[in-house]
Structure 1
Amino acid sequence: MDDLQSITKIQKRYLSGIENEDYSMMPGSFYVRAFIKQYSEAVGLDADEMLSLYKESAKDSSLEDESAQIVPPMNRRSGLKNNSSLNEAIPKIIVALFIIVIIVVAWVLWQQSGSSNKNLTDLEPEQPLTMDNNQPPKGTPDGTEDDTEIGEEEPEPDPEPVEEVKEQVLTFENSSGEDSTYTLTDAEEFKLKIVIAGETWIAVTDENRKERTEKATVYNAGDSMEMDVTDAQFVRIRVGRTHNTEIYVNDEKLEYSSDRTTQNIIIEYEK
């Protein structure tokens, strides 16, 4: 089969069908005749004789197929009879469905009209306005007219003034050598917080050169200190290493104005 396939260029399943006289998998009668001719020439058989055998077998199979497709007269008549009955019943079914739809629509409209009439009857008629000439007009107990005009509203009291809350201002003033001067204004209090991130020297003194820290010394990473210096006019913070030290004035971080490692931060407090 492999040799025949390489010689004839015909797939092996078609070659096997020719040998077994099974042409059901063939693509068409034209290809069947061409395959039989190539197959006969490849194996040394008479191509015309093989084709005549194929034609006879194909003729017999077509006769069998035609006889199998013949419908008995009784079945055909019964089918026609069933179709005619169905065709007669379809118009009746359509008319019946149309009548049912009309009845349903009428019933829905009747229900809606009945509910609307019921809602109208439930409403109470408004009482007509009557005027009793013997009764004094409303407005005052004795019937006298009120001097105040109808709809006049009393003036609303002036809102209480809201006390303006000032926000503190921490301003850089100038820098000279290691000294950097800042001014603190509009602050109710003056509190310092110093956070240490690495080894540094810290000393805080006021205008009287009074030490405000526990002691002026070297502090290490993780140390921090807080102090209330509201009573001072200014403070001087000696910082050994600015990059390891953060200074907060009333929780506002002070930004160094100089890149010097060692600085004296002077904060003047204007009350």
Structure 2
Amino acid sequence: MSTSVFLKSRCVHGDMRVTNSNISHAAFVVALRLALTRSTRCFPDLFAGSSDSQADEQRRRCWLPATRHEDDAMDVLRAIAARRAVRDYTDAPVSRESIHELIDAAIQAPSARNRQPWSFAVLHDRDRIAGYAESARQWLLEHHREELGELAPMLEPPGYSLFHHAPALVIILATDDSTQSAEDCCLAAQNLMLAARKKNLGTCWIGLARPWLNVPATKDELGLPAHYPVVAPIIVGHPKHWPDAHERNPPEINWIEG
């Protein structure tokens, strides 16, 4: 069954503090769970008849896992170094829960004046994604062949898939057309891709699809808000393999002294 979901995300956190920096891991977990149960802002109904599934949903929305396995957790620097642009996926689907977790990670990104000017559209159907990939390919060649330059020959073969046969597509949209909001959405996109790497999911930002996704007729077909610019189309899936890392140029650093 084809599925397209549009989400406008907000997350309200309760007041939870653990002040002893030397607290043991076990004690920390106990203290954290106690804080969760006392946070009426995040869990107003946790002890008032909420089901286990409702409690799990409340916990997920506050981005606080029920348990933590530090031995196999990938720290942020490892995730940054291990992230790859993946363009070859297995047939395995990506669960809705995994997509929710990635979006919850995305909305932890900083934003100017904490405006959080992002929304998310999720296409969770491999066949529909493949169909849209073909539509986007043909549209780009018809309307933007000159601008494509050396990329045009890559798109010309009919079998080329702009979305690389991925099982899920997450589209990050800005809630207004300001440059600042687009930049904030880029920060959210990076969070999403790093969170995916931690979960051993591959991602790739498909910038070529953005012009087609911003066409009014495309937005109408997908049910996207007409006044929300598409910023980051990101495919998600289980990699057939992890690509090798590309060599990085040394950073240009100018130390400002005096």
> TM-score, normalising length from structure 1?
0.20
Point out the structure with the larger strand share.
1
Higher RCO structure, 1 or 2 (CA under 8 Å, sep 6+):
2
